[in-house]
Amino acid sequence: MLTGRNILLGISGGIAAYKTPQLVRLLKKSGADVQVLATTSALKFVSELSLATVSNRPVLTGIFTADTEGEYTRHISLGEWADAFVIAPATANTLARLATGLCDDMLSLCFLTLRPDKPVLIAPAMDGHMYNSLSVQRNLSTLAEEGCRILEPESGSLASGQCGLGRMPEPETIFEALAGMLATPEKSALNGKTVVVTAGPTREKIDGVRFLSNYSSGKMGFAIAADAARRGAVVRLVTGPVNLPTPPGVERIDVESAEQMLAAARPLFDDCDLFIGAAAVADYRPEASVEGKIKKKDAEMEIRLVRNPDILAEFATNRKPGQLAVGFALETAGGIDYARKKLTDKQLDLIAFNIYNGHTSGFEVDTNVLTLLGRDGSVTELPLLSKEKAAAKLLDAVETILPR
Ligand SMILES: Cc1cc2nc3c(=O)[nH]c(=O)nc-3n(C[C@H](O)[C@H](O)[C@H](O)COP(=O)(O)O)c2cc1C
């Protein structure tokens, strides 16, 4: 099931660490390559020799020790190498360190170097009172908001002799949760479908050196394009000016203005199964743009603006049966009614109401808060998520309405 997948397994110092050689065995048996990152405390509960033997790799603990085999930037290469990061058991101490960004051992350092689109699975295990403490719950919320999946501990007899919540799920359960997160694209309804995504801002020329635009970074649209490609879709990304690398497997077309974006997207309409308008297309453009630079004068200046084409509406109203149209509505506050109206007026299948709060959600930042509104009246409120995780949630919703 996990053939060719590279897994980082972080083990911290809880009693449940004694179960981790079994988890390594399950991962290896399914074809994964496993690199164990154990804290110093973890190695008091489980033998380094056992873990190194079953993983067939040296166990990495410290960052300045000889176990990095002379590769002094091993933490960075491991962050790139890994397809997923599992932390099991995750102690209260390790959760606190990960939630605050401390990185003074291999486990915590690799947690920060892991590529942001890679799944992270955390299995906290501890005494029930510890687990229910405000600080542990706060740290778990922080990690969940960053996009980590938290595997709830189970109830049962604990090492303390008490009975209650806090037991690490069995290695088989952890393995299955991870396998689900790494499910292959063949299982995705998007596999083999053609998806057109627009992203980024547009620039509307005033003169040879000035333009009207907005703060869109393109991160949300690029995250959607990347995730759709990972799910096996043929992805065409039409983007305004952004400073982002092209996601693997994505065909990219760069444009500047709304009119250019429409001209680039229109030929792709016929051939696509799904159109996702994530670009922040400027609604207006200067009626006339001037060659060269407009000179400063003492008098006030007026620029007359005219409406730009509505790319998403053009797709939605002219589409063929079976083609899906998905849009975004970015609003500062109270805009959910506007998003609902946009969904109906433009006859979309799904709209992501995107709250702009200026710091954690909306333009430029790496996180977003979306509410997904379906044509069928469904409403799915997502928490604050990384844009990668928000993109995955959006595509999960799309998959449920995509004709097979
Ligand atoms: C016998 C024993 C069992 C422990 N079990 C747990 C546990 O299950 N979960 C936990 O969060 N901490 C547990 N601790 C406390 C951690 O080992 C301690 O907080 C340590 O600093 C964790 O370090 P680490 O997070 O770097 O691995 C236990 C400590 C002892 C002495």
Span from the CA of 41 to the centroid of ligand 1 (angstroms): 7
Which residues, other chains included, contact 254 with Cβ-Cβ below 8 Å and sequence gap of 6+?
Answer: 239, 241
136 C-alpha to ligand 1 centroid (Å): 13
Distance 46 CA to ligand 1 centre (A): 12
State mean pLDDT over 19-25.
98
Query: In this structure, are strands 250-254 and 234-239 parallel, antiparallel, or unpaired?
Result: parallel
Distances (CA, A) of 328 to 91, 203, 232, 279: 39, 19, 23, 8
Size (the chain), residues: 404
Average pLDDT of the chain, as a whole number: 92
Domain covering 6-183 assigned CATH 3.40.640.10 in the classification: no
What percentage of residues in the chain have a pLDDT greater than 90?
73
291-303 average pLDDT score: 91
Residue 3 CB coordination number (10 Å): 9
pLDDT-derived band at 186 (thresholds 50, 70, 90) equals: low
Nearest ligand 1 atom to the CA of 97 is 25
pLDDT over 70 (residue 66): no
Does the pLDDT at position 158 exceed 90? Answer: no
Q: Is the CB of 93 under 6 A from ligand 1?
A: yes
Residue 201 has pLDDT above 70, yes or no: yes
Q: Which tens digits make up the pLDDT trace of 302-321?
A: 999 999 999 999 999 999 99
pLDDT of residue 331: 82
What residues form DSSP beta bridges with 354? Answer: 330, 370
| Residue 32 to residue 180: CA distance in whole angstroms | 14
Q: From start to end of 42-173, where are the E strands?
A: 84-90, 120-124, 149-150, 154-157, 163-167
Lowest mean pLDDT among 91-105, 107-121, 155-169: 155-169
Per-residue pLDDT averaged across 70-92, rounded? Answer: 91
Instruction: Report domain extents, the chain.
Output: 6-183, 186-401
CB of 265 closer than 8 Å to CB of 196: yes
Q: Kind of pairing, strands 234-239 and 194-199?
A: parallel
- Span from the CA of 232 to the centroid of ligand 1 (angstroms): 42
The pLDDT of residue 155: 87
Atom of ligand 1 nearest to the CA of 105: 26
pLDDT at 326: 98
How much of the chain exceeds pLDDT 70, in percent? Answer: 98
Q: Would the CB of 12 count as within 6 Å of ligand 1?
A: yes
CB of 143 sitting under 6 A from ligand 1: no
Instruction: State the pLDDT at residue 152.
Output: 87
- Looking at ligand 1, which residue's alpha carbon is closest to its atom 6? 14
Q: What is the assigned CATH class of domain 186-401? A: alpha beta
Query: Can you tell me the mean pLDDT for 102-116?
Result: 95
Cα 231 to its chain centre, rounded Å, is: 13
Tell me, what's the pLDDT at 248? 73
Q: Tell me: pLDDT of 184 over 70.
A: no
- Ligand 1 pocket, residue 39 CB under 6 Å: yes
φ/ψ of 151, rounded to 5, equals: -90, 110
User: Do the domains at 6-183 and 186-401 have one common CATH topology?
Assistant: yes
Cβ(256)–Cβ(203) below 8 Å: yes
74 pLDDT above the threshold of 80: yes
- With a 6 Å cutoff on the Cβ, whether 325 touches ligand 1 is no
Q: What's residue 164's pLDDT?
A: 81
Atom 29 in ligand 1: residue holding the nearest Cα: 14
- Cα of 124 vs centre of ligand 1, distance in Å, is 11
CB of 42 shorter than 6 A to ligand 1:
yes
Average pLDDT over residues 10-14: 97
Residues with a catalytic annotation lie at 214
Weakest-pLDDT range from 13-27, 330-344, 371-385 = 330-344
DSSP symbols for 298-317: SS-----EEEPP-HHHHHHH
**281 has a pLDDT exceeding 70:** yes
- 41 touches ligand 1 (CB under 6 Å): yes
Q: Average pLDDT in the 29-53 region?
A: 97
